């Protein structure tokens, strides 16, 4: 009998090591100064709102085979929520199903989209002080199909940038090897990120316009890897903010 170690096994092991390392950093950092709110000796936001972007009629970006961004966003977001739960972090989701969260009365697609975004802002801002938003999306750049990789964006509220930096670093190690990216301040036109009162980090997990990456993004293994690196980065970010 031979033990066959595949690339995926190694990648999974690496992800796990990264996650445990970040977790240990948190658990053993008894003197961490509070970022948002201190829970015992662990510095954490009061609640992390995990936001799977789009949903329902609004599928977001679309891959060549018709796969919509919203379904991948939801799959990754639910895994992030599960991992955060395991670390003792209180969480909230903007949606748990393939739905758009618009209010009754919205009729056209445009009205539904506007109402959906308003409702997400209301939910985030209703969480009160000490909340953090983690918004999960997929990218697309049809005019440059070779572009791939995960990139992390942050809004202008205090605490967002260092969290984004840590998540970007974790994702560079986990899924961007050879094509590392830098975290970036988000464009003011992204409604949700511009209108929330708390730190917001938006993760573009990969490019649906890249055939190879789109195929990966659809697999549960890769989604788990993404969720693991987002969570590990988030934990490291909480530990690093002074
Ligand atoms: Zn999107």
How far is residue 240's CA from residue 242's CA, in Å, rounded to a whole number? 6
Could you tell me the distance, in angstroms and rounded to a whole number, from the CA of residue 140 to the centre of ligand 1?
A: 9
Residues 6+ apart with CB under 8 A from 150: 168, 171, 172, 175, 176, 181, 203, 204, 205, 206, 226, 229
Indicate the domain borders of the chain: 7-240
Could you tell me the distance, in angstroms and rounded to a whole number, from the CA of residue 135 to the centre of ligand 1?
A: 9
Could you tell me the distance, in angstroms and rounded to a whole number, from the CA of residue 32 to the centre of ligand 1?
A: 34
The per-residue pLDDT for 118 is 97
Could you tell me the distance, in angstroms and rounded to a whole number, from the CA of residue 86 to the centre of ligand 1?
A: 27
| Nearby residues for ligand 1 (ion, Cβ within 5 Å) | 53, 60, 137
CA-closest candidate to residue 48, choices 83, 97, 81? 81
Structure tokens at 58: 């609004």
What's the average pLDDT block by block, 10 residues per block, for the chain (242 residues)? Answer: 53 56 47 44 82 96 96 98 96 97 94 96 95 98 97 97 98 97 96 97 98 98 98 92 58
- The whole-model pTM stands at 0.84
Instruction: Note the pLDDT tens digit of each residue in 34-89.
Output: 345 554 444 689 999 999 999 999 999 999 999 999 999 999 999 999 999 999 99
Instruction: Note the pLDDT tens digit of each residue in 200-212.
Output: 999 999 999 999 9
Instruction: Please report the sign of the dihedral spanned by the C-alpha atoms of residue 58, residue 62, residue 65, residue 67.
Output: negative
Specify the CATH architecture of the domain 7-240.
Answer: 3-Layer(aba) Sandwich (3.40)
Instruction: Please report the sign of the dihedral spanned by the C-alpha atoms of residue 216, residue 219, residue 225, residue 226.
Output: positive
Could you tell me the distance, in angstroms and rounded to a whole number, from the CA of residue 53 to the centre of ligand 1?
A: 6
How far is residue 152's CA from residue 170's CA, in Å, rounded to a whole number? 11
How many residues belong to the chain? 242
């Amino acid at each position: 009998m031979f033990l066959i170690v595949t690339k995926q096994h190694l990648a999974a092991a690496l992800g796990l090591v990264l996650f445990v390392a970040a977790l240990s950093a948190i658990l053993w950092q008894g003197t961490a100064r509070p970022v948002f709110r201190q829970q015992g000796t662990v510095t954490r936001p009061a609640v992390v709102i995990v936001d799977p972007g789009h949903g329902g009629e609004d599928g977001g970006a679309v891959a060549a085979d018709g796969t919509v961004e919203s379904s991948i966003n939801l799959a990754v977001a639910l895994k992030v929520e599960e991992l955060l739960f395991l670390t003792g972090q209180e969480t909230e989701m903007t949606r748990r199903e393939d739905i758009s969260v618009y209010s009754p009365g919205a009729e056209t697609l445009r009205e539904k989209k506007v109402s959906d975004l308003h409702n997400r802002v209301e939910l985030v801002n209703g969480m009160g002080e000490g909340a953090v938003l983690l918004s999960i999306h997929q990218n697309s750049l049809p005019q440059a199909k070779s572009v791939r990789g995960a990139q992390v964006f942050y809004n202008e509220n205090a605490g967002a940038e260092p969290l984004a930096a840590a998540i970007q670093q974790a994702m560079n190690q986990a899924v961007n090897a050879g094509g590392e990216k830098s975290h970036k301040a988000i464009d003011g036109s992204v409604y949700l990120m511009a209108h929330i009162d708390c730190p917001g980090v938006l993760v573009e997990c990969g490019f649906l316009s890249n055939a190879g990456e789109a195929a990966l993004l659809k697999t549960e293994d890769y989604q788990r890897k993404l969720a693991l690196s987002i969570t590990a980065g988030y934990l490291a970010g909480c530990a690093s903010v002074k």
